[in-house]
Amino acid sequence: MTREERELRRQQREKQKEIENAAKEAGRGPLDVPFLLLTLLLTGLGLIMLFSASFPMAYYETGNPAHYLIRQGIFAALGITAMLLIGRINYARYRAFSRILLLVSIVLLILVLIPGIGHSSHNATRWLGFGELFTFQPSEIAKVGVILYFADSISKKKDKMRTIRYGILPYAVILGLIAFLMMKEPHFSGTLLILGIGAVMMFVGGIDFIWVAAGGSAAAVVGWAYLSGKIKYNAMLIKIWQDPLSYEWSQGDGYQIRQSLLAIGSGGLLGVGFGQSRQKFMYLPERHNDFIFSIICEELGLIGATFIMVIFALLIIRGYWIALHARDRFGALLVVGVTTQVALQVFLNIAVVSNLIPATGISLPFFSYGGTALVIQLAEMGLVLSVSRQMPA
């Protein structure tokens, strides 16, 4: 062995030690305080508004006005605990679970469609679980699976993302399969959410802009075909969306969006006052779930609703800021995926309850009732906090 080779090996060993020392130190920085506080603020406000929106139904069903609040509060405590624990772990360790989680989520989506296994509600089969004791939507797990797998896979490819074979085809197949399974439920808004997350992560990962333009054009064509009735997917929803206040829909399929618009309009600028909503007294369906933002508008008015939207906006902006300052591509893509999910889900929910888009059934993060969804959302916030702890000084 020559002197130059020995010197090269010595340098390699020193570099390896530096990497190992960095790995030991990884995850020991402070949590990103603004992101943490915004998350806790939204969770707290969500519990408050959930109680206000749910207590009439809770009292009617169980005799306990705080029934839904107590259950959601337990899951919120579990979610915050999970968030802090996940935030303390080196996010690089989550790479090992990316492929397994994606496969598990696909299997669960298949199980939902098997008669006798999936749980149905409102003409859709989206849930798995054990009766009313514990149910969850596999689509919630699929979101995390897509984010983790795409972040792990894309971060390793760099320039290969510009090729069809490595940068387009494998991810298009995965998104196509998941979209097909979710549309069979059917879960249109959830499908849009998964496709949007995947598309944004592929774009950030480095695919050619021509593919972004092509995908956007295809999405625009499909959206036009859907809204114009060319695609026969629940045409009644389209008719209701086009004329929600028509008397024809007042007591039928259009009842929900009609009551939602009445709640929003009744709130005016300042709202009718916290706890004073009239629509939550058995008028507006899903008042504590997908349509909780309507109750927020009614009770807190335009100003209060705008305040909550601003908090969401600050959380999203801070998330993207953390992504820009992440230590590596995997961390950046991980945060982009989680933040994009929150951004799209908030937009779609508010768009649905305000009739900007047809009703499709999607929850408002941190606010809508659903314990499993809340725990998963807070766990995802933990992923972002984990990345924030390793940002270069």
Paired tokens of 281? 């007294």
Q: Are 102 and 148 in contact (CB under 8 A)?
A: yes
- Quick: pLDDT tens for 77-126: 999 999 999 999 999 999 999 999 999 999 999 999 888 788 787 677 78
State residue 250's pLDDT score.
56
253 has a pLDDT exceeding 90: no
Residue type for position 129 = G
**Residue 130: in which H helix or E strand, if any?**
strand 124-130
Q: What is the pLDDT of residue 84?
A: 97
CA dist., res. 53 & res. 196, Å (int):
30
Helices 67-87 and 371-388: crossing angle in degrees, nearest 10, is 20
Would you call the peptide bond into 34 cis, given omega within 30 degrees of 0 as the criterion? no
Give the helix ranges, DSSP H, for the chain. 3-25, 33-62, 67-87, 95-112, 138-155, 169-183, 188-205, 209-227, 235-242, 255-267, 292-324, 329-353, 371-388
How does pLDDT run across 364-381, given as a tens digit for each residue?
A: 999 999 999 999 999 999
User: What pLDDT sits at residue 55?
Assistant: 95
Among all chains, which residue has been given the structure tokens 């990962």? Answer: 205
**In the chain, what's the furthest Cα-to-Cα distance?**
90
Q: What is the DSSP letter of 285?
A: T
Q: pLDDT confidence of 23, banded at 50, 70, 90?
A: very low
Say what the pLDDT of residue 133 is: 62
Percentage of the chain modeled with pLDDT above 90? 63
Q: Which tokens sit at 284? A: 């507006």
Q: Which of 35-49, 125-139, 155-169, 220-234 has the highest mean pLDDT?
A: 35-49
The confidence band for 24, taking pLDDT boundaries of 50, 70 and 90, is very low
Give pTM, 2 decimals. 0.89
Separation in Å, CA 17 to CA 10, 14, 23, 328 = 11, 5, 10, 19
On the question of pLDDT at 345 being above 70, the answer is yes
